[in-house]
A and B are shown apart, each in its own frame.
Chain A
């Protein structure tokens, strides 16, 4: 294996040799290398296989734009898929492999696809695999297996990730010449500055530049500036930090990679940090990306962008070839020719322009570099590495074929199709882009947010212009912040005279574009000129549609290299100009970000708050499994040794029906409503008559949305003339409070009412069953609990077991029952006191499951389970709750024709005809299971349990016109295709007269 390492130069720590492994082989490199430079130094040409055609692929770029060298780094759970080798810093012992190209990049089963590429044209997947549709899931399995981008790590990520919020006056995205200059001016002027750059060191293009800045070498100037900035307290320097998202109102997201450059074990702290920055002004200086040229077989390993070649030579001391052809349509690539020549490689320049280059052309000629002007590279030979190019004379007419007459042997092609400003963040911020005909690129238009674009990102490609642009952007940003800019001299850089770029979006070949060897536009997605032309022939015209049909611009690189070429090829096919075709939409993220970064600390226990009642510890002690209800954890059932859910629930239900049970109902929403206008306010909220309620009385109340649909329900009590105590469903507590506040604040501000949530301050213990009165009496209750003095649906202040309580005589089980409302600080004591006092009576704690069964036996609905936002109180037969004397929210909607339809789904009960089958909740109901498919559905099951008390399964359901259909037989259509006969009944299965709760 040849070594491409130069004996001197570069920004490497040659005193620190390291070893790394790639696709199972071990190589040597130096600290300061990237995985890409390390591979090139070792002469590794093939680093992956292409996505669709499985062609061997090599490294093309030197930065974020890299489409081919996509690798998986590390092993096991800590592995990181789909990194660009060009951005992976090497450390000793790094292990990497190709994301694409299983089982081996050098022998790939999928390469057979390349032989049949004609049938794998644009839209192939749509055309072939989508039909017949029922077979898609077979196709998909095979496609997914062979189309992989990396491997999902095999366990939970052992790393952790953090989020950090930050504010600054000026955020500078990109630390090249423009960004450094902008940060320097802003920092010296006293602004709070954040400078973020995606690379491991600041400097951008200057790190590989041979220019003089002022009177020092460019990298030296970078060092001086960074040293000064790092000493300043008003400056935050973020390297290895990609500004990947620009959101509304100057909210900018930065992904900082903290530990990926360190060997596992050397690294403490978070792996990545998400900076969430709100900046007063943003300066975008992310530079520009060099475009490839589009010629036949331009994807062969050894074909790279010219600037990448320069970067590898000057920054990493790697010359990627011995014998190079530089192919260009502009002057900048001549720098690569000069760098190659200096590194000892043989170089030929092929320039499509008849006039060639200006100053750099003269320098190349002086260096003895042969230059062919008015020529193009129209094809490449070699499969796993370039072996030569075919060159033709070209007259500048894209519609004509060329006749290659010259063969040049080479092992490297350095290409340049000009530069595209990285307008991604500007576009994300809402800004548009304009076509600059002189520079043949999209440049950012006016800023929409408080931002500006400087340097190459604005289309100013020379170092001199970048430094000036950064300076001016900082001065303007400071002015916008109301700060005075300190005078800072912009260092001199020699200006280089250039000839104009020649537009060359695809290179003419010896055959027409649909028949010649593949001319790749998008390397990662194998999109070729012929694919785009085919899409147009098939009727696609919009750039967004063509993108989706041909996959142009998808993938991990999001078309950073290929998009502009592709749009220009599309424009040519459509006979339009490039700005008329436009670009696809630039969306975050600029480069891929990890799920870990987005999640940050919000994982595991910290994902969502966990709410426990004040009595939770008692339930844990009792061994109760918990049911998750929203954020709450509630005891589900209280198993005794050997009991499963069903046995425990049957026992708990029977205990409540026959003796006494107790339940923690603390999660109910509780709202104190008071004020001079509280009656008037609640009259408009609840459907029943509030004014008629006497102090000390309770009522079941429902509230509707303005659309007439049931929104929430609960018991409410009148505590005083101007004070009410409202309860809501567990899940609806926050929403109801917000709902009430919104009406008070926005619609009826003249009403003086004060609302206070008491959900956490008070705990509620339900004591239910025929013996419940006796249990409470035995706890030294200070109020009379007998039927006459404490009637059903009333409330009393009392003391119980020596603790102040509010006692409600209400029932959600249909039995004689009380709810004990107690300060949460006493709640666990109260729970234990009631449990102890109840023991002689057979006290049985019960959980949410028994509570559900008990209420279903009584036909009591649970809002959100038996209702779904499309159910009116009329559907639930709650007409008795609807006042005729007043208006209330939603009342008018109940008179809409659709709410009065007789065939609306109405609440009914269901009994399985066989007396055994518990129908799964959610099951669809049909009149005739033998009806031809699609079988018309007449309703669905909302609640379903086995009732131990009734010794049969019961269910609640919503059935079309169900109220008129009692005693009819319909069918529950089970998921396995069978049907179970059920009989429609009243939803009240037990104690229909309600006598048991009145005793």
Chain B
């Protein structure tokens, strides 16, 4: 079970958190100007790296704040967490 440092509450067990997927996926400002392919890319495609991954977590069982974590997808080591 991961030990995750909430930027507001400190280190807590993984069970207090929910996972939000890759960070930095910006919602297009004008979706209706996008082709189907461009919209599908925003909707479905993620980088899925082996190694450092910037991702969103929510301290759902605590302060309910979303934050960003840099987690290694191989070792699960979390290098840093930060406020959005």
- Report which A residues bind B (CB closer than 8 A): 247-251, 278, 430, 448, 706-707, 738, 741-742, 745-747, 749, 887, 891-893, 895-897
A896 touches B36 (CB 8 A): yes
Which residues of B are found within 8 Å of A891, using beta-carbon distances?
31-32
A449 to B13 Cα, complex, angstroms: 16
Within 8 A of A (CB), among B2-47: 2-3, 13-14, 18, 20, 26-27, 30-32, 34, 36, 39-40, 43
Distance in angstroms from B31 CB to nearest chain A CB is 4
Q: Which chain B residue lies CB-closest to A888?
A: B31
Which residues of A are found within 8 Å of B64, using beta-carbon distances?
738, 741
Which residues of B are found within 8 Å of A249, using beta-carbon distances?
1-3, 76
A707 to B44 Cα, complex, angstroms: 9
Give the top 7 A-B pairs by smallest Cβ distance, nearest first. Answer: A892-B31, A249-B3, A745-B66, A251-B1, A248-B76, A248-B2, A892-B39
A895 touches B66 (CB 8 A): no
B60 touches A893 (CB 8 A): no
A747 to B56 Cα, complex, angstroms: 12
A749 to B65 Cα, complex, angstroms: 12
Which residues of A are found within 8 Å of B32, using beta-carbon distances?
887, 891-892, 895
A247 to B40 Cα, complex, angstroms: 36
Which residues of A are found within 8 Å of B30, using beta-carbon distances?
887
B66 touches A742 (CB 8 A): yes
A318 to B2 Cα, complex, angstroms: 47
Q: Which of A742, A892, A896 is the one whose CB lies under 8 Å from B20? A: A742
Which residues of A are found within 8 Å of B56, using beta-carbon distances?
746
Distance in angstroms from B74 CB to nearest chain A CB is 9
Distance in angstroms from A448 CB to nearest chain B CB is 6
Which residues of A are found within 8 Å of B60, using beta-carbon distances?
738
Is B58 part of the contact surface with A, judged by Cβ < 8 Å? yes
Task: Please list 16 pairs of residues, one from A and one from B, whose beta carbons are closer than 8 Å in the complex, sorted by A's number.
Answer: A248-B3, A249-B2, A251-B1, A251-B13, A706-B43, A745-B66, A745-B84, A746-B20, A746-B66, A746-B84, A747-B26, A747-B27, A891-B32, A893-B39, A895-B32, A896-B40
Which residues of A are found within 8 Å of B66, using beta-carbon distances?
741-742, 745-746
Which residues of B are found within 8 Å of A278, using beta-carbon distances?
3, 13
- Report which B residues bind A (CB closer than 8 A): 1-3, 13-14, 18, 20, 26-27, 30-32, 34, 36, 39-40, 43, 56, 58, 60, 64-66, 75-76, 84
Which residues of B are found within 8 Å of A745, using beta-carbon distances?
65-66, 84
Which residues of B are found within 8 Å of A248, using beta-carbon distances?
1-3, 14, 76
Given A248-B1, A278-B3, A896-B36: 16 more A-B contacts, CB < 8 Å: A248-B14, A248-B76, A249-B1, A251-B13, A430-B75, A738-B58, A738-B60, A738-B64, A741-B64, A741-B66, A746-B84, A887-B31, A887-B32, A891-B32, A895-B32, A896-B39
Distance in angstroms from B2 CB to nearest chain A CB is 5
B43 touches A897 (CB 8 A): no
SS of A interface (majority): helix
A526 to B83 Cα, complex, angstroms: 57
Q: Which of B36, B65, B84 is the one whose CB lies under 8 Å from A897? A: B36
Distance in angstroms from B49 CB to nearest chain A CB is 18
Distance in angstroms from A683 CB to nearest chain B CB is 14
From known contacts A738-B58, A746-B56, infer whether A247 and B1 are also in contact, taking CB-CB under 8 Å: yes
B76 touches A707 (CB 8 A): no
Most chain A CB atoms below 10 A, which of B20, B43, B65: B43
Which residues of B are found within 8 Å of A430, using beta-carbon distances?
75-76
Distance in angstroms from B15 CB to nearest chain A CB is 10
A416 to B39 Cα, complex, angstroms: 65
Q: Which chain B residue lies CB-closest to A734?
A: B60
Q: Which chain A residue lies CB-closest to B44?
A: A707
A892 touches B84 (CB 8 A): no
From known contacts A248-B1, A741-B64, A746-B56, infer whether A892 and B75 are also in contact, taking CB-CB under 8 Å: no
Which residues of B are found within 8 Å of A706, using beta-carbon distances?
43
A727 to B76 Cα, complex, angstroms: 39
A887 to B29 Cα, complex, angstroms: 9
Most chain B CB atoms below 10 A, which of A247, A278, A746, A895: A746
Distance in angstroms from B29 CB to nearest chain A CB is 9
Q: Which chain B residue lies CB-closest to A749?
A: B84
Distance in angstroms from B60 CB to nearest chain A CB is 7
A707 touches B84 (CB 8 A): no
Q: Which chain B residue lies CB-closest to A896?
A: B36
Which residues of A are found within 8 Å of B13, using beta-carbon distances?
251, 278
A745 to B83 Cα, complex, angstroms: 10
A448 to B76 Cα, complex, angstroms: 10
A239 to B61 Cα, complex, angstroms: 34
A248 to B40 Cα, complex, angstroms: 34
Which residues of B are found within 8 Å of A895, using beta-carbon distances?
32
Q: Which chain A residue lies CB-closest to B1?
A: A251
Distance in angstroms from A512 CB to nearest chain B CB is 45
Q: Which chain B residue lies CB-closest to A250?
A: B3
Distance in angstroms from A845 CB to nearest chain B CB is 36
Q: Which chain A residue lies CB-closest to B18?
A: A738
Which residues of A are found within 8 Å of B2, using beta-carbon distances?
248-249
A741 to B66 Cα, complex, angstroms: 9
A965 to B2 Cα, complex, angstroms: 53
Which residues of A are found within 8 Å of B75, using beta-carbon distances?
430, 448
Q: Which chain B residue lies CB-closest to A892?
A: B31
A893 touches B43 (CB 8 A): yes
B84 touches A251 (CB 8 A): no
Which residues of B are found within 8 Å of A893, using beta-carbon distances?
39, 43
Distance in angstroms from B11 CB to nearest chain A CB is 9
Which residues of A are found within 8 Å of B26, using beta-carbon distances?
747
Q: Which chain B residue lies CB-closest to A744?
A: B66
A742 touches B36 (CB 8 A): no
Which residues of B are found within 8 Å of A887, using beta-carbon distances?
30-32
A706 to B34 Cα, complex, angstroms: 14
A893 to B27 Cα, complex, angstroms: 13
Distance in angstroms from B39 CB to nearest chain A CB is 5
Distance in angstroms from A133 CB to nearest chain B CB is 36
Distance in angstroms from A246 CB to nearest chain B CB is 11
A812 to B48 Cα, complex, angstroms: 45
Which residues of B are found within 8 Å of A896, using beta-carbon distances?
36, 39-40
A183 to B9 Cα, complex, angstroms: 32
A741 to B58 Cα, complex, angstroms: 10
A430 to B75 Cα, complex, angstroms: 8
A887 to B33 Cα, complex, angstroms: 11
Which residues of A are found within 8 Å of B40, using beta-carbon distances?
896
A738 to B40 Cα, complex, angstroms: 24
A440 to B34 Cα, complex, angstroms: 62
Q: Which of A247, A250, A251, A892 is the one whose CB lies under 8 Å from B34? A: A892
Which residues of B are found within 8 Å of A897, using beta-carbon distances?
36
Most chain B CB atoms below 10 A, which of A448, A745, A897: A745
A738 to B36 Cα, complex, angstroms: 28
A146 to B1 Cα, complex, angstroms: 39
Which residues of A are found within 8 Å of B34, using beta-carbon distances?
892
Which residues of A are found within 8 Å of B39, using beta-carbon distances?
892-893, 896
A742 to B65 Cα, complex, angstroms: 9
A706 to B27 Cα, complex, angstroms: 10
Which residues of A are found within 8 Å of B84, using beta-carbon distances?
745-746, 749
A448 to B75 Cα, complex, angstroms: 8
Q: Which chain B residue lies CB-closest to A741?
A: B64
Q: Which chain B residue lies CB-closest to A247?
A: B1
Which residues of B are found within 8 Å of A707, using beta-carbon distances?
43
Q: Which chain A residue lies CB-closest to B75?
A: A448
A891 to B32 Cα, complex, angstroms: 8
Distance in angstroms from A578 CB to nearest chain B CB is 26
A737 to B65 Cα, complex, angstroms: 12
Q: Which chain B residue lies CB-closest to A755?
A: B64
A891 to B3 Cα, complex, angstroms: 38
A251 to B26 Cα, complex, angstroms: 35
Q: Which chain B residue lies CB-closest to A895?
A: B32
Distance in angstroms from B43 CB to nearest chain A CB is 6
A786 to B42 Cα, complex, angstroms: 50
A749 to B68 Cα, complex, angstroms: 14
Q: Which chain A residue lies CB-closest to B67?
A: A745
Distance in angstroms from B58 CB to nearest chain A CB is 7
